[in-house]
Each structure stands twice: as structure tokens, then as C-alpha cells.
Structure 1
């Protein structure tokens, strides 16, 4: 049984924890979907006339409403998210906090990001005599946001709120695994003052999603998901003709490099969390670690000691810090990747059965954490996305070797470097050398698995293209219109 069952009419979400149906939704017909797109397209013309200040006020009110919802002791927000996608309830609040933090930041920079850009001459600081020129940011129109299940709030806020603030209308298509999250999001926006036709949640089959992408009334598509899914969205956009814009935030195989001068206690703890939070089901989870040979053995020992303290089990239990993966199919794929690596010479450092009291059985969605050594790039474990609570740790002899291995991947979302750069100019210089050479969208120093809304979120290679968050996120959701005025002089 897969995590989500599809029929021609009904979408059923299966809880990873219980493997029982959790909620159902009815898919629209093509005629109904077309009518929804028509409503959103018509509403955009009026929404674009609402002043930027008013749109910012509505967005600010939305944050207040959602903050109140998240603060209510009786709020079902956290339990329903845990039941839909399996993350331990003790960790769920961090997603909501991040969701609100990103919203606040994008609201704070909205005016400066979307205001007219005047043209001035370098020598005078003014426009040319007799002319007034500026660049205006104008909305694209209808934006289709296709959100994933692993961080449904965090990923959707990246595009939905800035799209609305920019004057676009939004079709929000959640994953079938987490349908309630989009409905919660949209309901709060509407309560804050966003007209109902400006934000529409649509539950769609893959075929209906393709139909929406191909619709000429949809002006831009923001997709977060798999490489395979991203290619399908891109192909559908091409079939639509008209050069429709597409942003793709896809897979990752994010590396970490631990240099010889890293703080071992701090680094090991941070990289365990970076690899195993949300059962490793994060776009920018650490999936492979390279450690300088001079500290390899003590690092591995510390790392394994921390992993063994994890509690795998019922995600509704507040003491659990490792829940199930999203589906039976995902669990089997993860186990197969580990087995294939072992068959090629990798060594498991977590003994089989060590977590068996927590339901670690073949045939369940509960996958015990695993640390493997004696790994190399002949193994899928070190080259293909795992998206599970598994890490491979490989020994390296130099920065150059680490850089080569970090870049030996079809993906390029984030990378992290762990070194005493803040105390050592030579280490800082070495870090900056790595920054300039590593092929990735974000490079971290002494942190990982984090998205700062002030920075552009982007990837290279098969991790996709396009940008969300930061000022550049607004640039992606608008088009530049140049205004060139010749002013008659007396």
C-alpha cells in the first residue's frame, strides 16, 4: 500500500504512523478545475489594483491570525500535521515557527523589493535632464504553487505569500499526503482579508495537475518536489506554449565536510540533527559526510554515540524524536539502498535490531537510523537521494579531495563546512576557497539544514532552478516594466 491512494474521484491520505486512512478529498472534474482557474484569473485583475500597502496590511493580519492559531492550547494544527506526514509532534512546532518567521521577513522587505526603481546618472545622481525613467515591478498573473508533503507549511509560504503581496492570485495545490495544511493556510489568508477567489486550494490528480500547468491562464508555476516531478512540470509548461515561467526546487544529496580543526563535540551533534531531523526527509538534509582523516575515528565514534540515543517510535509521543518515514514504499527503498551499500563493502555501525523495540521491522514505515562507513561513490548511498534516516561517512585527506567528492553529484542544493574559521584566518580563507569551488546553491559554515529567508533559496544541476525568498524571490514573482518619460521643458 502506498502512502496516498488515488482513484478517479477520491484522494485518501494514509497516515504513516497507523497506515490507516486519515482524511479524504474529492477531486474536481476538468470542467470544475477550469472554472476555478477562470475565477482566479478574473480575480487577479482586481487584486492587482489593491495598493501594495493594503496587501501588506492584509499579510500582517494573516500572521497575527496564524500566530493565534498556533498558540491556542486547543489548536489541532500540530496533531493533524503529525498524523498526515509522520513527523514527531515535539518537532512540529519548529515548522510553524519557521513558517511565521519567513512570512514576517517577506512582509518586512516587500515595500523595498516591489517599489519603483528610479534611473539616475552616476555623475549627477539624477535622471537625464528632460526625462523621467523608472522600472516598475508588476505581477505575473495567476501563480500555481505545487507544494510537497515533507514541510508543507515551510515550502508553501516561500511562494504563496510573496505572490499575493506582489499582486498575483494563487492556486495552491498541496501534496495528497498533507491536504489540510493548504486549507489551514488559505483559511487564515481569507480571514485576514484576502478575497476568496484570490487564493484557491485545489486537490488534483497528476493528470489534473498537468492540465492546470498547461492552462494558458496560469502564468507561473512554483514546484517543490522530486526531479521526476519537476521534469513533468517543465514538459507540461512547454506544451502550454507562450514561454510560461517555472521555478523548480527539487532533490538534494547535500554534503558536509568536517575539516581537521572542527569542534568535534559541536559538529557531531549538529550533523546528527542535520541528517536525522524529520527522519531525514528534508530537502536540505545532510545525506553524506566527508571527514578529514586526522579526526575521522573520533568523529565517527561521537556521531554514533549520539545516534544511539535517538528514540524511534510513535510520533504522537512527545518523547519521540524519530518517527516513521512517509510510506511503506519509501521505507523499502531506503532499506534497499542500505543493503546495496553493504553488499558493496559498506559497514553498518548501528547493529540490526538495536531499535527493534520501537517497531523496526521490515513491512512497517519505521526505519531505524543507520550510520555507514567504508563507503564510496560507487554506492547509490553516496550519490543518489536517500530521504531517510541514513548517513554515509567517508574519510578524506585534503580540502581538494573533499571538494571533488562534494561536487561529484547530480544535485546541488546546499553544502556545509565545519571548521574553526572564526578563530583562524587561515581556516576562514580555506572556507572561502571551498565556497568559490563547491557547486551548490547555499554554502553553510558550522551549521546545516536551515533556510534563512534573507538569503536566496536556489539550487543548481538537478536540484532545480529559480529562486524563492529574499528580494530575489519577489523578482521571480513579478516582471519588470520599464517606464520611459520624455518631459517637455519650458
Structure 2
């Protein structure tokens, strides 16, 4: 088994950097350090913990240029867009700090004569965060901030595609002055990660990744009675209703489908359009898609870069080809984007019509820059098709009718329903999924509940 790993940049396929995997002794030392740091960290006041975490966030914001460069070189997101992830990190972190008092406050039932009763939230112990590469700062911060503020120690194992992000987090928390052992990072391969999940020193696991990865994590933790938060795949649908503001829907849904080369957990992956708007919507969608500036992500004019790796792009190419063979029509002609290079990470955006739910592109997660668009007759037709999926992360409806959007949202099996927006996490709302999109909650006051246990106090006067 290799003791090192290499990061291949999708920009040109070269080796960006190499790192050593942590040894068994280093993993054991990290677990011991996290355990030894628990008492002192949870004894620190909430105000002090918030201040220390806030200083780490300040450091990351001050080093936005370094962070953005790391994102672009490791995953290929355009440098014109990468700084925005640090803005999102700051928004989520500041919000979770601001609501910490509420999220961790004692819960007091109605008064009972002669008794004092309350429920108090206590830290779980050591939280293991398994973070993915696609939004490497944002996905990690969802758990890191509330876990630390709640008094847990944290070990971060980041994707082997984005070790620089883990190292920047480590530098930020060291700069902030967190006590030794409170926050640590480990570079691990797949087998070592699953072994760590099952370690008795780990008290909670937060995993963001594929459905298969989630099953492996759940199985590894299954011998122990610990919590596992799973944010998994998605095949997020959108419905453009007959009363939609069409230009706004087109503009937002093109971005929702293709931002980050479609490599977003909540990217729009299938669109259903009322027949009244279908032709105009497709025409406008294709026109805007053709206007993308697709190319080298280090060019400040680029707004669509490569996928994370050539194998991922080839997988989407096969999905597109299978759909076309089955009768779909590809509306972006070959050669329109000169950078598109079969066998490379550079995959141009594609719009498919003539699709149906017998095709993988409408049922299986693509996680790339392709979208299928289908006409529907009415709301009931849209609901039926949107629910025809093993995933349930987000769904969006484009309408001028707020009450219809709520009725529609009640009928859709997803964790989040959007009206006239998509592909966004509001830190005030719970981020959660249904069906194969996972389980558990991050963000909002409920994010603190997942990272603590409740102790009941029953005091007789």
C-alpha cells in the first residue's frame, strides 16, 4: 500500500503536489490528543470558544487569495469564482457563531411546583469530519464551526484531491490559538479512513460524499452506538411553472446547472417545463449556455472550467452518449467550445432534450455539466416526475404564486424546496436530505442538536 499520494490538477493533468498519508502511530497520537483536549476545551466558556473560532474565520478571510488559488489548482473551478467560496464560508460561520447561545441554550419545560427541570446540551466528544473536494471549505465549515463551539474536539480528514484545504484550516486554527488537540487534520487513504470511523475514540462522524461512500461509512460505524451525519448524492429537479418569470428562470437555472462544472451536491440536474413555455425556455437556455467562456480556470475571463478529473468527465460523456443513442438530442454542437477535449477533464456544457426517465441522465447523478429538459402538462405531472428519483436533496419551483409553491413543496420528497432560486444553502435553514440523499442535519439551530447530546436535570426542591 502506498504511503504517499499525488494530486493531479485538472488544469493540465500534471502533478500539483504530493503528500504522505498519516501512519498508524500518527493516527493513534491524534486520537489521544483529541481525547486529552476534551476536558479543557469543554470547560472553556462559550464566549471564549466563539472568539477563538472567530479568529480562525478571520484568518481564512484574510487569506482569501491563497484559499481561492488552492481551490482552482486542485479542482479546476475558475479563479474568477473561487474567492466566493470564502465569502460563503464566512456567512455560514458567522451565522452559526451568532446563534450559538440559542442552539446550546437549556430547554426548560413548563413549570412544575416543587421541581426545577431542564435539558442541557453537552458535547459528544470527538467529531470526525470527512469532507469532499467539490466545495472543500463550505462543506467542512458546516460541521467544523458548530462542533467546536459546542465543545467538541474535531479531526478533519479531507478529500485526497484537496489536502491544501485541510492544511489551510489547520493553519487557521493554529493561528487562532486553539489549544493543542482541539482541531487536527489527517491525510488518510480509504481503508485507513474507515478504520478511523470505527475507532472507539470517535463519537460522531459527519460525511459528505457519494451514496456508496455513505454506506461504507455507516457500515464502519455500525458496531458502535454513535451518530453519523450523511450528506450524499442528488439529482435535483426544477419545475418551470406556467406562470414563471421566464428570463429569471433561465438565467438562474443555467447557473444552477453549470456552476462549478455541475459538481455541486445541490446542482440542478433535471428540468421540467410547462408546455406553454417549453420551446422559449429551451431556446433561451441554449443561447445562454453557448455564451459561457469555457477554458483554463486560471484565466480571469473564464467562467466555466474543467471537471475535477478526466475519469469524471469521461463518465459524464458516456452518460450523454447513452442518452443520444436512446433518442435524446444534444443541442450544443460538437466544436462550439474548442477547449472540449475527449479523454481530458475539459467537458463542455451540454443540453439534452427528447429525454425521459428510462435514461441514466434523468435518473442517476451526473455531477457534471449536463442537463436534461422535459416538457410537462401540469403541476401533477411535474410532481410525479420530480418524485421519481431515489434522491431527495433539493427541488426548485419557478412561479409567481407563493401558495402554489408551498403546496408544491409539501408534495415533493426533498430536504429543501426553493421558490425562484436554486443551488444555495441558507445557514438559517436546516441542510438535510431525504431518501438516498442522506440523513442528519447541518446548519441552523438544529445543527447544534446533532453535535450534542441532551442531559436531563430533575431537581426536587
Task: Say if 2:355 is the partner of 1:361.
Answer: no
| In structure 2, C-alpha distance between the alignment counterparts of 1:190 and 1:35, rounded to whole Å | 18
CA distance in 1: counterparts of 2:446 and 2:231, whole angstroms: 15
Partner of 2:410: 436
The answer on whether the counterparts of 2:33 and 2:180 sit within 8 Å (CA) in structure 1 is no
**CA displacement at 1:62 relative to structure 2:** 2.2
Residue aligning to 1:69? 63
**Which whole-Å CA distance do the structure 1 matches of 2:317 and 2:42 have between them?**
50
In the alignment, which residue of structure 2 is the partner of 1:41? 35
CA separation in 2, counterparts of 1:18 and 1:98?
28
Please give the alpha-carbon distance, in whole angstroms, between the structure 1 residues aligned to 2:23 and 2:56: 31
Q: Does 1:15 align with 2:9?
A: yes
Counterparts of 1:293 and 1:220, CA distance in 2: 48
Measured in 2, the distance between the counterparts of 1:341 and 1:68 equals: 46
The 5 Å alignment of 1:185-334 reads: 185-239=169-223, 241=224, 243-334=225-316
Matched, 1:99 2:73: no
Asked if the contact 2:37–2:180 (Cα under 8 Å) also holds between the matched residues in 1, the reply is: no
Cα offset for 1:8? 2.0
Counting matched residue pairs gives 461
Distance 1:280 1:455 in 2: 23
Residue matched to 1:124: none
Check if 1:79 corresponds to 2:73: no
Structure 1 residue matching 2:43: 3-state secondary structure: coil
> Which residue among 162, 168, 173 is the counterpart of 2:152?
168
SS in 1 for 2:429: coil
Distance 2:233 2:70 in 1: 26
Runs of 4+ in 1 over 6 A off after TM superposition: none
CA contact (8 A) 2:139 2:208 kept: yes
- Indicate the residue corresponding to 1:411 in structure 2: 391
Q: Find the partner of 2:430 among 451, 456, 463.
A: 456
CA distance in 1, matches of 2:53, 2:102: 16
1:385-424 map, 5 Å: 385-421=365-401
Q: Aligned ranges for residues 177-192 of structure 1 at < 5 Å?
A: 177-192=161-176
Partner of 1:424: none
Q: CA deviation at 1:329?
A: 0.8
Q: Deviations over 1:92-114 (max 9, x none)?
A: 01111000100000000001110
Check conservation: 2:77, 2:304, Cα contact below 8 A: yes
SS of match in other structure, 1:145: strand
**How much has 1:156 moved relative to structure 2?**
0.3
Please state whether the residue corresponding to 2:234 is helix, strand or coil. coil
Displacement of 1:79: 1.4
For 1:97 and 1:429, locate their aligned partners in 2 and report how far apart those are by CA, in whole Å: 32
Per-residue CA deviation, residues 188-230 of structure 1 (Å, 9 max, x unaligned), is 1221121131100000010110110010110000000000100
SS at match of 2:29: helix
Normalising by structure 2, we get a TM-score of 0.99
3-state SS, counterpart of residue 248 of structure 2: helix
1:53 paired to 2:47: yes
Contact kept in structure 1, 2:350 and 2:369, CA below 8 Å: yes
- Report Cα offsets for 1:37-86 as digits up to 9, x if no partner: 1111111122111111111121222222222222xxxx422112100111
Match of 2:133, SS?
coil
Per-residue deviation, residues 138-189 of structure 1 (Å, max 9, x unmatched):
0000000000000010000000111000000000000000111111112212
- TM-score normalised to the size of structure 1? 0.93
337-346 vs 129-138, greater mean Cα deviation: 129-138
- Would you say 1:383 and 2:363 are equivalent positions? yes
Find the aligned partners of 2:204 and 2:307 in 1 and give their Cα distance.
31
| Long gaps (5+) in structure 1 | 1-6, 121-126, 422-427
Unaligned runs of 5+ in 2: none
Instruction: Measure how far apart 1:406 and its partner are.
Output: 0.3
Which residue in 1 is equivalent to 2:457? 483
Matched residues in 1 for 2:88 and 2:147: separation? 18
Match of 1:344 in 2: 326
1:154 pairs with 130, 135, 138, which one?
138
Distance 1:48 1:486 in 2: 27
Supply the distance in 2 between the matched residues of 1:332 and 1:442 (Cα, whole angstroms).
30
Distance between the aligned counterparts of 1:32 and 1:94, measured in 2?
34
Distance 1:63 1:152 in 2: 15
1:425 is matched with none
Task: Please give the secondary structure, in 1, of the residue aligned with 2:280.
Answer: helix
1:465 has 2:439 as partner: yes
Q: Distance in 2 between matches of 1:432 and 1:332?
A: 39
Give the match's secondary structure for 2:137: helix
C-alpha distance in 2 between matches for 1:233 and 1:187 = 27
